[in-house]
Structure 1
Amino acid sequence: MGRRTARTPTELLVTTVQLLTPDGERRDDDRYPLGVTPDELRGMYREMLVTRAVDAEATALQRQGELGLWAPSLGQEAAQVASARAFAPDDMLFPSYREHGVALARGVEPAELLALFRGTSHGGWNPFERRLNTYTIVLAAQLLHAVGYAMGVQRDGAEEVVGVYFGDGSTSQGDTMEAMNWAGVTDAPVVFCLQNNQYAISVPVERQSPAPLYRRADGFGFPGVRVDGNDVLAVLAVTRWAVERARAGEGPTLIESFTYRMGPHTTSDDPRRYRDEDELAHWRALDPILRLRRHLDREQLADDSFYAHADSDAAAHAAAIRAACLTLEPTGPFPVYAG
């Protein structure tokens, strides 16, 4: 399979929502107004840093034989942390298997996060307590679960909104088409959070779809929006807009966060076989954490003390997840939770 080189198509520049440039400069978009406080900006920086530290530690644990497998989220922190903040605490979220930032935002504990990958649990946490369904390994299955749940919420007359996370590879699955069709037909209150990280394992996205993925929504009768997935502000603004639409009874939205998986697909993958260093260097320069730090520095919203505390907090979370992993033992059949 041939390698690709880094590029920035003109079409992406025209259609992608961006509120924060790679240099950290704030932009406005009247379609998606965003009010965000300095505390929220610092909070997202800290949460992305913690997510990356936990991810790195879990990757190391797998390399040391303590986990059977791990799916790294390196580079996708903004798409996860910012979108999770846009939902209300009682909204139900459905992840795939890489949404570690979303899981941490929902209060999933270190031991719960690693239990599935260590083989000591079939899930890891109570989905009704966390308002987060357990990780779904089967590609796109969670989209059907999410839309079914959203249709139930709709019939109950609740104001709850449902969010579902999936990758570009899942868009090639029939389950995705069925889920989006049902959502469009019923105006289900669901937000489709697509993280386009450019590869379905080793298959680049242009070999999966001849058209941009956000345009899939057109065929099902609801809006599709592409955002710069390495821009926390764009992800936050557009996801808030989509959540408000769903809560107001205006139906589903597809959000394509255009981002990049800087690590392997899983720890059993070697990305050097299908992508080159120039491509990786291009995306490293667009690092979502670095971008937000540049904005904080530009606006003088953080100092050395804040960064030191954020680094310390991230290191503490990494230590906690290592300690928790080493205590995990098989617990028998996964308990059944009543909703």
Structure 2
Amino acid sequence: MTTKSSSVRAGGKGARGGGRRRTGSTAPASGRPATEAAELVQLLTPEGERAEHPDYSIDLTPEQLRDRYRDMVMVRRFDGEAVTLQRQGELGLWASLLGQEAAQIGSARAMRPDDYVFPTYREHGVAWCRDVDPLTLMGMFRGVSHGGWDPNENNFHLYTIVIGSQTLHAVGYAMGIAKDGADAAVTAYFGDGASSQGDVSEAFNFASVYNSPVVFFCQNNQWAISEPTERQFRVPLYQRAAGFGFPGVRVDGNDVLAVEAVTRWALDHARSGGGPVLVEAYTYRMGAHTTTDDPSRYRLSAEQEQWKLKDPIARLKALLTREGIADHDWFETVDAEAEQLAKRLRDGVRSMPNPEPSSLIFDNVYTEPHALVDEERAAYRRFAESLADAEQEGGR
């Protein structure tokens, strides 16, 4: 069960939804920003000790706590395997989530099955929680599909490469389900770099004006490729929500318990007619932006070493051990299961058949036959046949 005190929700009713509003600002009367510690919602310290917060709490069973740990271990293992496969030439690209497991698992496990997700290209942990096979994700990065999954089967949209555009898609979808009277919410994932995009500001404005049931979930991993956060915004990112008229919350993105508690509240707020919420998960990208990036060129190794001490998996493992919820044998079992997953993915990626080029270009473009597509397909086939004939001639 997740609770949030009424003192934080106080502040008058929203103009349209009848839900309560929260300013999202914790700046003192002096106008100076509050300290990072005061802003951050945390329920589990980096040492793995439980912490209390006046506004948020969560009560997970021992089984649920073990499940959250297993989720993070499995996701980290298949993410690492994908990086290795890319280095071996089996994938064209991979965007690693290393270090962001708690932000993704905590937020995804807070959702209900009828909630809808609009991801970027790094939400492998969210995809895992929505039952999208990691092998399907890797197929996209191998270039054998344009996505490979039905978005409506798991309420998990296809990955979006264009930075920030999915936030507008999410708001439009949220406006639609609100008009349909659906008891559901939408979550739009994006990064701190995407927050500088105009699409994101437009999405904030439309969501606020139309009181849309959408949660904007920003994984602030401190670096927009090679640009640090101080080059992206002058105030804490979550405080931007106040300028658009809806609540903003900063949560420890390496604390899976706090992330789940805050996201559950945000989703309930959105579903109940309270309108949008911005959740800033304060975390760190431990690896490269993608496998084409070299982070050593723009950030210090000492910074990464500091964040290793806040590792999301290590702190939950410490809690499970301290409270006697899991023992050495259980942790060994989870690690073995993760290795089995990695093997399945290695074998699966390497055995993926190369698709017919024309199927990637022309199939699944329109739901019904289209004269222009048929004409272009025929022209492509003639071109491909001419290349094959030329190769045969050259071999004689």
Task: Give TM-score scaled by structure 1 length.
Answer: 0.95
Gaps in structure 2 of 5+ consecutive residues: 1-32, 368-396
Aligned to 1:88: 112
Alpha-carbon deviations, 1:50-101, whole Å to 9, x = none? 0000000000000000111000000000000010000101211011000110
User: RMSD value over aligned CA atoms?
Assistant: 1.4
Identify which of 359, 364, 376 aligns with 1:335: 364
C-alpha separation between the residues in 2 aligned to 1:99 and 1:324?
A: 21
C-alpha separation between the residues in 2 aligned to 1:251 and 1:88?
A: 17
Q: Which has the larger radius of gyration?
A: 2
| 1:199–1:205 contact (8 Å) kept in structure 2 | yes
| 2:286–2:304 contact (8 Å) kept in structure 1 | yes
Alpha-carbon deviations, 1:94-128, whole Å to 9, x = none? 11000110011111113311121111111121100
Secondary structure of the corresponding residue to residue 146 of structure 1: helix
Aligned to 2:198: 174
In percent, how many aligned pairs have the same letter? 56
Aligned to 2:375: none
Q: Which runs of 4+ in 1 moved over 4 A?
A: none
C-alpha separation between the residues in 2 aligned to 1:282 and 1:185?
A: 41
Alpha-carbon deviations, 1:207-258, whole Å to 9, x = none? 0001110011001111000000000011010000001111111111100000
Aligned to 1:303: 327
C-alpha separation between the residues in 2 aligned to 1:337 and 1:324?
A: 29
Q: 1:337 to 1:184 in 2, by over 3 A?
A: farther
Aligned to 2:158: 134
Structural mapping, 1:249-264, within 5 Å: 249-264=273-288
Matched, 1:149 2:173: yes
Secondary structure of the corresponding residue to residue 286 of structure 1: coil
Aligned to 2:255: 231
- Relative contact order, CA 8 A, sep 6+: which one is greater? 1
| 1:110–1:324 contact (8 Å) kept in structure 2 | no
In structure 2, what residue type is equivalent to 1:292?
L
C-alpha separation between the residues in 2 aligned to 1:211 and 1:330?
A: 48
Structural mapping, 1:195-234, within 5 Å: 195-234=219-258
Alpha-carbon deviations, 1:157-204, whole Å to 9, x = none? 111110111100000000000001000111100111100000000000
Matched, 1:325 2:354: no
Gaps in structure 1 of 5+ consecutive residues: 1-8
Task: Give TM-score scaled by structure 2 length.
Answer: 0.81
Identify which of 86, 102, 109 aligns with 2:133: 109
Secondary structure of the corresponding residue to residue 240 of structure 1: helix
Matched, 1:268 2:292: yes
Aligned to 1:287: 311
Alpha-carbon deviations, 1:14-49, whole Å to 9, x = none? 100000001111112231121111111100100000
C-alpha separation between the residues in 2 aligned to 1:160 and 1:322?
A: 37
| 1:191–1:242 contact (8 Å) kept in structure 2 | yes
| 1:126–1:337 contact (8 Å) kept in structure 2 | no
C-alpha separation between the residues in 2 aligned to 1:222 and 1:93?
A: 20
Aligned to 2:80: 56
